[in-house]
Amino acid sequence: MNRLLLNADMGESFGPWVMGMDHEVMPHVDLANVACGFHASDPDVIRMTVRLAAKHGVRVGAHPAYPDMVGFGRRSLACSAEEVENLVLYQLGAMAGMCRAEGLTVSYVKPHGALYNDMARDPEIMTAVMKAILAFDPTLPLMTMAIRDTGAVRELAAEQGVTLWFEAFADRAYDGEGRLVSRREVGAVHHDPEVIVDQAVRIATGRPLIASDGSELVLAADTLCVHGDNPESIAAVRAIRQALGNLGGDS
């Protein structure tokens, strides 16, 4: 079994306002998706998070978003394809500067929130994000959603020459297409650690999940997103790491 890399969204605090428990979750993940300042974070938080990743040997990914700090980047904005390309490129540059200061490099790109969801649904937005990556560093992988049928996005990535990393979620419910159930829906987010660990193991071993419509869903993923914003979620991350290690999927 190929190793399933654990990733987590990091560096989403702002000034004295703290979000997440980055110091507790960083030792247990492989990849840190660091906010670039558009939906969360500030220069001090970004550099502190990159430094923390370097301390624990965690690879840093840029986590760009729409410029919507009030909405935490979870609201779609009416941006043209050119605007999307430029806002992603701008945030990549900022993250690269912070990484360079701490002896690291940007290892991949994972868009945040509404930009992530819009990109997965709209080929024009996906292409714009890919163009930003190609202009910045064509070797960087783009993290995107593992859905039931990834044929179209694989074809687009092949046309553009961009590497894809497919991502699944341990603590989110899925619909029949393999897309995340809206957070506005009851049951969209799993809170029971046993359910979260079971879903992680199913994804890692290629066993089916049960989608919201009752159908079986198998997700082929390269990386698993975990969250660490409270003590219960930190415990779940540790349990996932242990469970994957027991499967031989950890190193």
**Answer CATH for 5-247 from 3.40.50.300, 3.40.1190.20, 3.40.640.10, 3.20.20.370:** 3.20.20.370
| CA gap 170, 198 in Å, rounded | 8
The residue ranges of every structural domain in the chain are 5-247
| CA gap 124, 56 in Å, rounded | 37
Helix ranges (H only) for 102-141 are: 113-121, 123-136
Farthest CA pair distance, the chain: 49
Q: What is the pLDDT of residues 68-106, one digit of tens each?
A: 999 999 999 999 999 999 999 999 999 999 999 999 999
| CA gap 137, 92 in Å, rounded | 10
Residue 3 has pLDDT above 60, yes or no: yes
Identify the pLDDT of residue 251.
Answer: 40
Residue 1 has pLDDT above 50, yes or no: no
Average pLDDT, the chain: 94
Q: What is the pTM of this model?
A: 0.93
Least confident of 93-102, 104-113, 221-230: 221-230
Q: What is the pLDDT of residues 115-141, one digit of tens each?
A: 999 999 999 999 999 999 999 999 999
Question: What band does 228 get if pLDDT is binned at 50, 70 and 90?
Answer: confident
